[in-house]
A and B are shown apart, each in its own frame.
Chain A
Amino acid sequence: MHEETAVADFGLDTTPRSLADVARDAIARFRGGDLGPVPALLAIVTLVAVFGLANPSTFLSVGNFANLLEQASAVIVIAMAVSFSLLLGEIDLAAGFTAGVAAAVMATRLQDGWDLPSAVLLSAVVAVALGMFTGFMVAKVGIPSFVVTLANFLIFQGILLLLVKEGGTVGIDSELIRDMVGANLSPTQSWIFVVVALVLFAAFELRAQRASHGAVPMSLVGMKVAGTTAVAVVATLLLNENRALARANIEIKGMPVVVPLVLLLLVSITFVLDNTRAGRHLYAVGGNAEAARRAGIRVDRIKLSAFTACGLLAGVGGYFLASQINSVSATTGANDTLLLAVGAAVIGGTSLFGGKGRMINAALGGLVLALIDNGLPLVGKRSVFWLVEVDFSSSGVKAIAAGLALLVAASVDALSRKSAN
């Protein structure tokens, strides 16, 4: 104990580590219950395999692949919004309706002859206001977010109903909005996008490797970049195939525009969360609000900002929703979307207890739910264990499957938290 010249060695920070060391650490972390996005990745692989076997011709078609990505986009964006509340250790049950209201504001303004930028700006302001309202109720008034957003669920739904009129539908006549979900990059543009994205990804990984003084082995970076490149190239090759029906005399090919759009949102938000003070403080408040307060962080301000960001991002998700059907109705953002968005973040590995999670989790979770949504109907009627005949295409089965996925993910979250303490 009394070694005068004791000097810390920080062995793990300065000695280069091998791939085996990293793998051992990862396994130790898993044992400790920190699974991250691994369950979601496994779920994606499993679902693709199961549905692919059940109905290879339809499920594994290129058309369905593109379709899947477009279906998932809105849920992923709204799930990213919900992640902001989850990182605080709070929840936003009304994010779907925030999306719906933002979409309805935009659609009705366009209908009244506003130009697109003004309509989008106003709807974004409304989304921000709704988020701030939630944040105010949670951070300043001190109501649990569960209750605030349950109330908002009704209030925002009411606003949506008033905007679109009972049973009404507001069509959207804007090419730009229509193209968000539905348009494709040309095959050349797709390749340019993929190459640029991969180069940037490799550059970032290399920079992190250099900053780690060997703690991140070069071979790991190589594997990550190679793996990502392989997935991206295969996906692009597939998407650049013509996927129009055989008898159609037009060609549909190229990467859906939603892919770069969602990726751009994902990467930029992740960057902000990882590299700014506000981002760091968001994680701190979610991890231990009292510790954050003692460290001089204005906890209520962080909460207010997080819910504001949640509102804005949910509003952006609303544009994706509107773009999917080129219109807004009383059910935009309701039912499925609403619950799936909350579920997606958790299924992707974001903790319900705060302080743990990343935007990529929302994307992976969103894909899992889109896969369930997309794949189950293709399974059709089957007998389960030769006992009961189940119609997997029914919405009943779909709802149960999505609910079970959420429960499983939440159990993993809760149990891993237990084992960590």
Chain B
Amino acid sequence: MSTSLATEPLLELRGVNKSFGPVHVLHDVDFRVHAGQVTSLIGDNGAGKSTLVKSIAGIHPIDSGEIRYEGEDVVIRGPRDAAELGIEFVYQDLSLCENLDVVQNMFLGRERLRRGLLDKSSMEQAARDTLATLGVRTVKSVRQPIRSLSGGQRQTVAIARAVLWNSRIVVLDEPTAALGVAQTEQVLALVRRLADQGLGVVLVSHNMNDVMSVSDRVSAMYLGRMAADIEVTASTTKEQLVGLITSGQRAGSPTTDTHGDDT
């Protein structure tokens, strides 16, 4: 309880509203991301998770409300604004070029130059260093094309790319949705490690097992509103989280168990 309240959140959204034409999707949403913590964002289909994430990304700028970054008011109008603040995104449908190799993907759009030409060896070294500090063991060569990697390895590369830029916050939209058991574990371990290294991590997920295993906090959305923002403790149960998703209430007992694990 006391730990997260003592430190100021790295990113804080207050009273955020967002409409698409007549459709009011986000209603006075409050949301906090703390450095060194994994904050999971849960909620039923259509609850507004992706919309919230995209408004942080600048893809859907907010209509009203405020965004504070390190205690200061900021305006995020486009993806570049978010990148400049040090917020990186790993989208659900991977944003990798299969024909390019690991290094080329990690530096895509931000290639290092030396005398006007691509500085391949420095990029290769940096890519290797980043993967090594993340403790990634599954990628044997950074010169492999993405085409030859497994789903988990690809997700690893996508995440490593996000942290290559001295980013402070990494937002992952369902990073394990398409992965098998072993690969899910690897990716979750990596997600945990990012937070342990001091980054603020936001994890959007439908899988309550994943959420329970890596999260410090859980923010639950219900019909476009923030229904709860709780700390994950030893006494937190899966049933509580499912209750938040299905009814927006902190129910003591599970009402139904058909929703939580739909991935």
A residues adjacent to B (C-beta < 8 A): 1-3, 5-13, 32, 211, 215, 274-277, 280-281, 283-284, 286-288, 290-292, 294-297, 355-356, 420
Contacts and interface: CB of A to CB of B under 8 A. Distances in A.
Interface in B109-159: 109-111, 113, 116-118, 120-121, 124, 128, 131-132, 135-137, 139-144, 147-148
A300 B216 CA distance: 42
Nearest to A351: B99
A287 B100 CA distance: 8
Contact of A294 (B91, B120, B121, B137): B91
Nearest to B128: A10
B236 interface: no
Interface of B: 79-80, 83, 91, 94-100, 104, 108-111, 113, 116-118, 120-121, 124, 128, 131-132, 135-137, 139-144, 147-148, 185-186, 189
A277 B111 contact: yes
A296 B79 contact: yes
Contacts of B99: 283, 286-288, 355-356
Contacts of A283: 97, 99-100
B104 A6 contact: no
A215, A284, A290 interface centre (most CB from chain B within 10 Å): A284
Given A10-B128, A211-B121, A291 B96 contact: yes
22 contacts: A6-B137, A7-B132, A8-B139, A12-B141, A211-B120, A275-B117, A276-B116, A280-B100, A280-B111, A280-B118, A283-B99, A283-B100, A284-B104, A288-B95, A291-B94, A291-B95, A292-B97, A292-B109, A296-B80, A296-B110, A355-B97, A356-B99
B39 to A, nearest CB: 21
Contacts of A292: 97, 108-109
Contact of A2 (B98, B117, B189): B189
B81 to A, nearest CB: 12
A287 B113 CA distance: 22
Contacts of B79: 294, 296
B95 A295 contact: yes
A8 B118 contact: no
Contacts of A277: 111, 113, 118
A1 B186 CA distance: 7
Given A7-B135, A297-B109, 18 more contacts: A2-B189, A6-B135, A8-B128, A8-B139, A10-B132, A10-B142, A11-B140, A276-B116, A283-B99, A283-B100, A286-B99, A287-B99, A288-B98, A291-B94, A291-B97, A292-B109, A296-B110, A355-B98
